[in-house]
Amino acid sequence: MPLVTKPNLPRTDDFYAALLAAHEGLTEAETHALNARLILVLANHVGDLDTLTEAIDVARGTPAAAADDPTKT
């Protein structure tokens, strides 16, 4: 299951707003903790190690070439 790096999320603005709302009023430590839990929840949902390591690479900004490969969807 290759990582999807093209736009894939309908109602992007709604998601972004929900994310910000979830962090509303949190201290920096609480924000970090929430993000960590969110990552674990989403990782379990993805359920595929290759996809997740690809996502980690994209997030780190390392081998962007693979993620931008036009042959990959």
Partner 1 sequence: MVQARYRTAFQLYPYERVAEQDAATVTRHPVVIVGGGPIGMALALDLGLKGIPALVLDDHDGVGQGSRAICFAKRTLEICDRLGAGQAMVDKGVVWNLGRVYKGEEEIYNFNLLPEDGHRRPAFINLQQPYFEKFLVDRIREKQAEGLPIEIRGQNRVTSVETHADHVALEIDTPDGPYRAEADWLIACDGANSPIRDMIGQGFAGRVFEDNFLIADIRMQAEFPVERRFWFDPPFNRGETALLHKQPDDVWRLDFQLGPNADRKAELDEEKVRGRVRGMIGDDIPFELVWTSVYTFRCCTMDRYVHGRVVFAGDSAHQVSPFGARGANGGIQDIDNLGWKLALVLQGRAPESLIETYHDERKHGALENIRNSSRTADFLTPRSPAHELFREAVLTLARDHAFARPMVNSGRLSVPCVYDNSPLNGGDGLRHPARTRPGAPCPDAPLGDGFLLDRLAGGFTLVGFDTDVPDRVDFDGIEVTGFRVDTDDTIRDRYLDAHAFAVYLVRPDQHVAARWSRYDEAAVAEAVDRATGRA
Binding site for partner 1 (CB under 8 A): 32-33, 36-37, 39-41, 44
- Nearer to partner 1 by Cβ, of 12 and 62: the residue is 62
Indicate the residue type of 49: L
Return d(Cα 64, Cα 70) in angstroms, integer: 12
58, containing H or E segment: helix 49-60
Residue (37 or 72) nearer to partner 1, CB: 37
Name which of 1 and 46 has its Cβ closer to partner 1.
46
Q: Work out how close the CB of 55 gets to partner 1 at its nearest, in angstroms, rounded to a whole number.
A: 15
Least Cα distance to 2 among 54, 41, 37, 42 occurs for 54
